[in-house]
Structure 1
Amino acid sequence: MPKFPAQYSTLSAIALKTYIEDAYGLKLITCKYLLRGVSDTYIIEATDAQYVFKVYREQHRSADEIKGEIELLNLLKENGASVAYPIKDTRGDQLQQFEAAEGIRYGILFSYAEGGPVFELTDDQLKTIGRQMAIVHNITSVIELKHQRKAYTTETTLTQPIKDLKPAFKDLPEEYTYLKETADKVIEKLTSFDTGKFSYGYCQYDFLPKNFHFSEAGTLTFFDFDFAGKGYLANDLMSFFVHFFVHNYTGKLSNEEADRMFAVFISGYRENRDVTEEELKAIPYLGVGFWVFYLGFQHDHFDDWSNLFFGTRFIKDRVALIRSWVNKYCEF
């Protein structure tokens, strides 16, 4: 009987253990499946180190886009940024290819970011994040990758996602109208800024505490550059600001403390790189694009990733959160 086509397979952790041992010349103790998210993640424990193995979906990232992520991380590592980086196999390759049930899937073995995520950040940690993010931007603002990555523009973060989202809002017409009208206002507002003077380059576009680890010694390592693409570097400052907004929205931080902590982070950033006051004023409007972009991503990848939570209630709650962001930070 022929095999029935698959939409999303999960590579066997047992088989991957053998494959990684052979491909990388490592002696592994365990290979454990960690989570199914944007990509599938496995935790690898070798006799002398830990690693992370990520398996990508073709529907999410083409081979050329994945090679762009590898190229970016190699350049960051070579130039002194503190990032988890791709490991070369015994042949010198950093990209693995698997003939999975649904077709070709690609995998990368990454160095392990020592330590763990910290969500209640101290002032010293906030300054460290600022300094290290600035180092990343000092590199990403002057490089040009050979492999194309997504560009973050008002078209890709607002206009197109809202068009794509329309079917999901069939039972929420008022929310859809609000989202569309707000996007139009944001686009108009951004034209009032002198964006030609904004720092531009490759931004990570997801600089949240879940994507960096602090070790016990206080060292910081960034990871998960899966969404990295070209855009205003203020987008990364904005994505980190999202952390403080969410903590404030859920009652974990006061407005004053959220603003104070972000200011500490910015002071650390400015130790290694300048950011203008106008770029900081643009953060609320870039943030609307962030929320809409990821809502669009969750919609577009409903079958493969977000089916557990994406629905009418989630959409309604997310629009309420966006409304709170707009009311708190945006001026039209």
Structure 2
Amino acid sequence: MWYQNAVTESLSIKYPIIQAGMAGGITTPQLVASVSNSSGLGTLGAGYMSVDELQETIKQVKKQTDHPFGVNLFIPEIPGYTNEQVDRMQKVLEPFKQEMDLVTEGKYLQKQRDFEKQIESVIEESVPVCSFTFGAPSKEIMKEFKKEGIKVIGTATTVEEALLNQECGVDLIVAQGSEAGGHRGSFVGAYEESMIGTFSLIPQVVDAVELPVIAAGGIMDGRGMIAALALGAKGVQMGTAFLTVKESGAKNIHKNAIFHADETSTTITSAFSGKPARGISNNFTRAMKEYENQLLPYPIQNDLTKEIRKEAANRNNKELMSLWSGQTPRLSKDVHVNELIDSIMKEVDEGIQKLTR
């Protein structure tokens, strides 16, 4: 069958469909397990999780599936910033906090995320697959994972980033086109230089590396999967498509914003997290354009806006939430995971038959 290839063989799954590791509560244990139980690869978005949260959530996933699943982690960075910069940004954010009845705290203290212990947890819990965003894993990490038989997926938005991932020893590469929702995986150079569309990026990465390539960015159905396969990819990673399914942990207001969006509704903004990400435009993204040169790097900006986003979600205020979405929201569906994957596979089967008649 067409779906038996290097991706399915490497990840020990039936269908080469990977659910993107969307951080922030979207990838519930139910969502991750449902994708894996439906013969794809469910992925836990663990970028923001504490070690305790990560361990507990992995255990919850294991209770719901015996199939392979993955964990996505963020490669850490050491951002440079001053207290004066933080104070200025807190003043910029003050009106939004007042709107949400939030009180600005005193001096900002950066919250440390223990990346090394996250890695240890993935190894201790024998997670079959680990993927990385915002950089390539170190050779030391790769050595530990290979020793444990854990498959590693890297993320690239350019050919250069794909080659760096290959050099580090990853097993597969997700090539993320500019249509993708959520954070850009870029880690080399300015993100503006890596805004390459999926159709342009995939064949160039496929030709440059010796590893299986997984296409990501704007893929929502069987038609997108056929296109990715035609360009040389061996599988697809889908985020927005799984964000709106019934098992997703996304807020209903977020899902409804996607259902009512069109191809012109999204924008790239760093205002929420300090890293460029694609989401639906709202009052916050529009107002913050004036302060783009004052935005702090990730994760500082992310920490400063966290309470605003959280309270806005609690109040169903979509104008102050980060409504991540790719550029193909018109194809979003309100269905169960198994229905989505079944429909994708049926569309690919029928599409291939039409093309080969």
TM-score category (smaller protein): under 0.3
- In the superposition, the TM-score normalised over structure 2's length comes to 0.24
- In the superposition, the TM-score normalised over structure 1's length comes to 0.25
Bigger Rg over Cα: 1
